[in-house]
Structure 1
Amino acid sequence: MKISVFPAILIFLLFADQAPATESKIDETKTFIFHSILEGLYEDGVSTEDVEQILLRRDDEEYFHFIYSCPVCTASIWAFEAYRHRPEKLHAVKSGDSTFGWGLEKKIRDGLHSDDVKQRLTAINTLIGRWIDRRMDSLRLTEDERAELAEKLEERREYGLGMLNTFRRQTKDKEGPGVAYYAPAYVGQENWECASCNATVGQPMKFGDEK
């Protein structure tokens, strides 16, 4: 008896060009940043008060500590917003906790709530850098995979710094809202680098006055 292979071939052709179910609609580097930060927030048990401070935003500007249209900052904001809107408590946890860890160490909290924007950006840089490293380690990437991811993160960092410089030019040339609206923390600071961007590639916050 002959067995037709046509049905099998037809099924293969129908599904060959379809994307796998696990493929994200969002840039995979952004999703890596998102998951790194969201996981870190839960693991460290960051308070809602601290997250509100990180996501500081006034009516006449974008998020104070981030850069508009920067891919790293965008993914970071997604994660902080998702965590901020988490359930008030975890299901079946008698303590009523809404997160896992015990909260941030005093030095970091003091930095986040400082009146000095440099200290706030440094604290944000420290946190994101910690969480990026932690997720990289947990994924147990090979050297090649880690290098490839680092390259993609650097590309996003360069794009973010480019956006910051674009807003600086807008401010200088008076051609748009500029830094005051799109990157409020960086107003008047020509040498400051993106706190979130630097964190993703293992670099500290840089203010241009380092020795």
Structure 2
Amino acid sequence: MKCPKCQKLVPDRSRCVECGFPFYVQLDEAAVAHLATHPGGESVRLPSGRYISIPTDHNLEPTIMPLTRAQKNKHLLIALASLAALFVAMLIVGYLIKLGDFGFILAFVGILGLAAGWMLVAHLLDFFNGVAEVYIDRLIETQRYRFKHQQSKAHYYGYFEQLGRVNISANDHYAAIPGALYRLSYGKASQRLLDMVQVDGSF
């Protein structure tokens, strides 16, 4: 793994063998205040009531690693879903053009089709490239949030020391351990979070 502090490749341990950076800490108020202080960052109130300043950008260098079978399957599944969405969008656009309807609906469906096409290309590129960008960072806290205009859908965020706010899955939210280090794998082209795995803290 790559130490998030000194950026050197080190074996999985409870702390970095190069700089002594701990890979797991019990987060108290002082630790959170120390870990998440970023001048000029975005001020966020966490579900626990604590306020932190998370970075708007990060300087972590990713490690390039081969995709796992599960990650390849995820890319392929999203690409197939995007292809289906693109096909449906093209059918609707063709039907609307045939009817002579060039209004808002046509533009909206066209934009959705372009988005589906971009996702298709990006995930196919990631699938055939066969590698992921991997970061190691410490989780501070997670959040479950519903937007006022999307009450039926919950969004899940993880707040990390260096990466800031990251969109995560519901499973990751409920299984997350604040204070632990996580390995986050992203597709290079799609920049989609593929998985979030806790770093082994054993000696």
TM-score by length of 2: 0.27
**Greater Cα radius of gyration, structure 1 or 2:** 1
TM-score by length of 1: 0.27
